[in-house]
Homo-oligomer: A and B are copies of this chain.
């Protein structure tokens, strides 16, 4: 019965190589079946490595490659608007040292462009901009001096700064205790800089005849990681546009859009328009402006590669900013391969779901760096935990390749890890073969995730505030508390993303079964002020009323207005108490058991929050789980439709099953749920109609037994070793199930 495919023992694998460790690299290439080798930040490919017979994939970090040119053109560095620490006026003069508290090796004040024109002094107590006549920059003392200040008002100054140390370079220095010269980046927006980069790239292409694929590890702009004076993270936004500033671009923007952006458009009260903030229309304009430039810049590089007979891949890590791979305009760039770092299923889906013909490669964690590969480190454990989540996701949407990065020599001391990767790659290749480039069979159930970003930030994790109260590792996203998306990443449903702005214009599309609004209150993820737009609210109500499903998690539709906090409280059947309605009584239904959604829940449900302050506000609300009176899970009906509310949904296999059931219930398609379905929630199955292959996996570290249901209702019992993937026969079901396949 277990027909594990043996054909694909190699291929689809990118190995980081390292000069000076040729024998070990060759050994790894053999054991892991690599077909490509690559260089990484800090490693080079030697001639010996180039002669291993593997295809070569070369990393270029164009904007930070030519340090000589960069250092000779220090006015071509990227810039950023930073907000000083707030300073309180004790008397009527205030002095602010703008960069106090920021890492001194990372930023330097741009005084070349008139501070009076580009900086802003803001009274953060009154909210007013201080007139330029009331302050001056004392260059000698490096201080902004404000006159006629109002005592005990707090002042900040937004300053324009050069980024004098590339963020990745700085990160690597700090993480690895490097002692090399700091790397400086340049901004390709400047025509002279761009011209230099183009010429430089021409030469680089000539110098790399053996390169098959050019990996654009950087493109134009780095995401932002602001460091404090102690070398600790002060602000981080993995997909942010904060370091895209230059005066020329700002002036071009003004010409095109008819208005000038202020420093405060970037500083955003010190929140810097992080992904969790609801983007303003001005901010979206800027993102579009930058994106269009990045596409033009990228297209020129890709064209050069094409002429040189090479393919291009783009890495979604450091320089995601401006790339926007989910944007239709991105396709104009002509990129051949997407390469995304992936620690979990959400990261997989971010890559696998991206539209376009690009090849999809995952760069897995752990990165071969001493932060994990050190005596006492346990890279296997991290990898295994990641792999379970990743495998869940690739069983739903396939990816094409797997790779690693860093110093392969570091893996030498971890033989268990080397074997583990060998097995991991065998599983990956078996799934790849079964999938044959198609996604596995799914019932007709489409989930539309609605938030302020829509596809712009499809499959980007929305952190909760819990995140802030944890100790974290800086390179890995630790999502504390809730992560419904991770549950969703491995479910057999069709998923798409839409912006609330779009919903307001065109309503919920007809092919959608369930709209999902998951995010903390007043963030971009729940939608914040968009819920004050009657067209958004009415569109979702209309959709549910005519039979659609709504699944809300955390702070769905939260925006205090007109007597409620959840603007869709009437649909959800629940609202949150945010101290305004304390005198108004809640409905207090009894919690019920045996509902379709909670039919498999045995232990207490873990919504990741001790209190939700959510209460039932409709007589029709059915309370499915509560904790000390706080609603944790509730269901409601509205017109012909249904809604479900979760106080939170941290990732676990049990919660993934709970979401699975909630989606099918909300869609009114409970009967479809068990078509290709594995009963035991710690296991999973996937069926590919094109190849007739069926995979059954054990996502737990213990022996499991399960019953797998085919689409025709036939069942088979499967027993699985810890973490095992197995391939039972599925031929009989092929014809039937194809009929029901949904074309997303």
Tell me the bound Cα distance from A18 to B86 in angstroms. 68
B582 touches A469 (CB 8 A): no
Besides A153-B534, A234-B585, A522-B579, 10 new A-B residue pairs in contact (Cβ under 8 A), listed by A number: A150-B538, A156-B563, A271-B580, A271-B581, A276-B580, A465-B578, A468-B586, A469-B577, A469-B629, A522-B578
Number of interface residues of A (CB under 8 A): 78
A469 touches B523 (CB 8 A): no
A582 touches B465 (CB 8 A): yes
Tell me the bound Cα distance from A96 to B145 in angstroms. 61
How many copies altogether?
Answer: 2
A270: min CB distance to chain B, Å: 4
Answer yes or no: A541 CB below 8 A from chain B CBs: yes
**A-B CB proximity, top 3 nearest:** A469-B629, A274-B583, A269-B563
A283: min CB distance to chain B, Å: 14
Provide the residues of chain B in CB contact with A200, threshold 8 Å: none
Cross-chain contact of A582 among B463, B562, B586 (Cβ < 8 A): B463
Tell me the bound Cα distance from A738 to B609 in angstroms. 53
Which residues A100-144 have CB closer than 8 A to chain B?
122-127
Tell me whether chain A's interface is mostly helix, strand or loop, or mixed: loop
B125 touches A537 (CB 8 A): yes
Provide the residues of chain B in CB contact with A541, threshold 8 Å: 88, 152
Provide the residues of chain B in CB contact with A542, threshold 8 Å: 151-152
A610: min CB distance to chain B, Å: 4
Which residues A521-564 have CB closer than 8 A to chain B?
521-523, 534, 537-539, 541-542, 545, 555, 561-564
> In the complex where A235-B584, A538-B152 touch, is A270 in contact with B563 (Cβ < 8 A)?
yes
Which residues A227-248 have CB closer than 8 A to chain B?
228, 232-237, 240
Provide the residues of chain B in CB contact with A277, threshold 8 Å: 580
Tell me the bound Cα distance from A269 to B523 in angstroms. 24
Tell me the bound Cα distance from A629 to B567 in angstroms. 31
B578 touches A127 (CB 8 A): no
Answer yes or no: A633 CB below 8 A from chain B CBs: no
Name which of A126, A234, A615, A639 has the most chain B CB atoms within 10 A of its CB: A126
A153 touches B582 (CB 8 A): no
A154: min CB distance to chain B, Å: 6
Cross-chain contact of A127 among B83, B561, B586 (Cβ < 8 A): B561
Provide the residues of chain B in CB contact with A318, threshold 8 Å: none
Tell me the bound Cα distance from A127 to B559 in angstroms. 13
Name which of A86, A277, A522, A562 has the most chain B CB atoms within 10 A of its CB: A562
A538 touches B228 (CB 8 A): no
Answer yes or no: A272 CB below 8 A from chain B CBs: yes
Answer yes or no: A275 CB below 8 A from chain B CBs: yes
Answer yes or no: A257 CB below 8 A from chain B CBs: no
B534 touches A584 (CB 8 A): no
A104: min CB distance to chain B, Å: 17
Answer yes or no: A90 CB below 8 A from chain B CBs: yes
Tell me the bound Cα distance from A53 to B564 in angstroms. 58
Answer yes or no: A172 CB below 8 A from chain B CBs: no
Provide the residues of chain B in CB contact with A520, threshold 8 Å: 579
A236 touches B583 (CB 8 A): yes
A545: min CB distance to chain B, Å: 7
A579 touches B465 (CB 8 A): yes
Provide the residues of chain B in CB contact with A151, threshold 8 Å: 538, 542
Provide the residues of chain B in CB contact with A733, threshold 8 Å: none
> In the complex where A578-B465, A579-B523 touch, is A153 in contact with B538 (Cβ < 8 A)?
yes
B583 touches A275 (CB 8 A): yes
* 13 A–B pairs (Cβ distance < 8 Å), ordered by A: A88-B541, A88-B570, A124-B563, A125-B534, A152-B539, A153-B538, A232-B585, A271-B580, A276-B582, A468-B582, A522-B578, A523-B579, A610-B611
A628 touches B469 (CB 8 A): yes
Answer yes or no: A467 CB below 8 A from chain B CBs: yes
Answer yes or no: A599 CB below 8 A from chain B CBs: no
A233: min CB distance to chain B, Å: 5
Provide the residues of chain B in CB contact with A154, threshold 8 Å: 570
Answer yes or no: A630 CB below 8 A from chain B CBs: yes
Name which of A153, A463, A534 has the most chain B CB atoms within 10 A of its CB: A534
Provide the residues of chain B in CB contact with A630, threshold 8 Å: 469
Name which of A228, A542, A583 has the most chain B CB atoms within 10 A of its CB: A583
Provide the residues of chain B in CB contact with A122, threshold 8 Å: 562
B465 touches A271 (CB 8 A): no
B126 touches A269 (CB 8 A): no
B465 touches A583 (CB 8 A): no
> In the complex where A150-B538, A585-B233 touch, is A468 in contact with B271 (Cβ < 8 A)?
no
Answer yes or no: A603 CB below 8 A from chain B CBs: no
Provide the residues of chain B in CB contact with A233, threshold 8 Å: 585
Answer yes or no: A470 CB below 8 A from chain B CBs: yes
A345: min CB distance to chain B, Å: 22
- Interface 0/1 of A459-478, CB less than 8 Å to B: 00001110111110000000
A273: min CB distance to chain B, Å: 9
Name which of A467, A523, A563 has the most chain B CB atoms within 10 A of its CB: A563
- Interface 0/1 of A207-251, CB less than 8 Å to B: 000000000000000000000100011111100100000000000
